[in-house]
Amino acid sequence: MTRKERLMSQARLSEQGKLELVLDLNGDLLEGPTWDERIRKLHFIDIDKQLIHTYDPHAESEHGRHSEVKLPEPVGNIGLTEDPNILLAALRRSLVLFDLTKQKVVSEIASVPEEHGVEDYRFNDGKISPAGVFIGGRMHSTGAQLDGKHSHWYRLEWHKEQKKSCLVQLLGPDGVQLPNGLDWDDKKGVMYFNDSINNHNEPPCSTMWEYKTDDMGIPLDTHPSSEHTRKVKSMGFNKEGGVLDGMCLDHEGRIWTALCGGSAVVCLDPETGNELHRVSIPVSTPTACAFAGADMSVLYITTINDKSKGAGGLWSYHLPGLSGWSAAHIAKPLY
């Protein structure tokens, strides 16, 4: 990027864009916005209502813009597969393939051991790396028991000889407590990851990490003292600030992350962690964000229902000149 382009980009971030309530769904816990550029539709989930929502911003009729399907269990995240009609869905203990057309689970890909927590635990945020590897974590389903005893962060590994997949632990209870947002900057060879609430630290804090990765987008090391690991930002807990939640990257590699409990989505400098831009939302609990649209210029934001107007709904934010890094990636191979 030239100096002129960098200055123009900084000038854009000093402006304010247009925030709009796109779908007033009165949902419970919306999460995981995932843009499929092949069909030009946005998928997102309602964890507690066990729903996958699909939004078509280009549909001519209001009736055709939104649809939903129900899953058999709470769903923590979704990912794209080679078939646009089939999504990878992370449930309580298992990763499954879910057919949107047939509205049913068609196969189970992998599951976590029982000793990693069964009752009251579920998958939380997860994504597919640019090379097609699923990475995601599990937490207590209500967030009420943040003792870290059963929190884990995994990657999905494919065993070609056995023709099956398994979940490999990247972080255990000593290293993660509430695994949340993640995304990759494959030009730098790094990924970013939010541990929303970690009581292992003193005082407890919300932390964003940068991990150097291999060619598959898998962290080389996750230990805090490793040369491959860097802390981008750490936030103490307070009612106004919220916690670091779901994230995405824009076309210049800047990080956009929801502040759940903080009524905002913020843009951060990935090198310093400094705030570059703030999208204030009239809902206290934004959960995640993703760039979408034909030119990746719309930032979609999911929310929790805090009983305020538009809570539990899908929001959009448009700032001229701003666009996303890339559309969601496709998981491969899975079967």
Residues 99/53, Cβ–Cβ less than 8 Å: no
Kindly state the average pLDDT of the residues 233-262. Answer: 91
Cα separation, 55 vs 61, in Å, equals 12
Phi and psi angles of residue 276, each rounded to the nearest 5 degrees, phi first: -105, -25
Does residue 306 come out as left (phi exceeding 0), alpha (psi in the -120 to 50 range) or beta?
alpha
Residue 176 has a CB neighbour count (10 Å cut-off) of 26
| Residue 63 scores a pLDDT above 70 | no
Kindly state the average pLDDT of the residues 139-148. Answer: 63
Could you tell me the pLDDT band of residue 120, with boundaries at 50, 70 and 90?
A: confident
Cα separation, 252 vs 5, in Å, equals 10
Cα separation, 59 vs 63, in Å, equals 9
The confidence score (pLDDT) of residue 174 equals 87
pLDDT in tens, 151-207: 899 999 987 666 678 999 999 988 898 999 999 999 999 999 999 987 666 667 899
Phi and psi angles of residue 282, each rounded to the nearest 5 degrees, phi first: -75, 30
Q: How far is CA 311 from the centre of its chain?
A: 18
Kindly state the average pLDDT of the residues 47-57. Answer: 97
Cα separation, 32 vs 126, in Å, equals 8
Mean pLDDT of the chain: 90
Residues 77/96, Cβ–Cβ less than 8 Å: no
Greater model confidence, 163 or 261: 261
Kindly state the average pLDDT of the residues 117-137. Answer: 92
Q: What does each C-alpha distance from 92 to 72, 89, 107, 156 come to in angstroms?
A: 10, 10, 15, 15
Cα separation, 149 vs 139, in Å, equals 9
Tell me: cis bond preceding 333? Omega within 30 of 0 counts. Answer: yes
pLDDT in tens, 281-324: 999 999 999 999 989 999 999 999 999 999 999 999 999 999 99
Kindly give the pairing relationship between strand 41-46 and strand 30-36: antiparallel
Could you tell me the pLDDT band of residue 144, with boundaries at 50, 70 and 90?
A: very low
The confidence score (pLDDT) of residue 270 equals 97
Confidence (pTM): 0.93
Q: 3-class SS at 281?
A: coil
* Residues 232-260: b if buried by 16+ CB within 10 A, e if exposed: bbebeeeeeebbbbbbbbbbbebbbbbbb
Residues 324/183, Cβ–Cβ less than 8 Å: no
The confidence score (pLDDT) of residue 117 equals 76
Q: 3-class SS at 183?
A: strand
Find where tokens 């078509």 sit.
Answer: 56
β-bridge partners, 231:
209
Among residues of the chain, what percentage have pLDDT more than 90?
75
Kindly state the average pLDDT of the residues 232-236. Answer: 90
The confidence score (pLDDT) of residue 159 equals 76
| Residue 4 scores a pLDDT above 60 | no
List the end-to-end C-alpha distance of the chain, in Å, as a whole number: 41
Q: 3-class SS at 20?
A: strand
The confidence score (pLDDT) of residue 179 equals 94
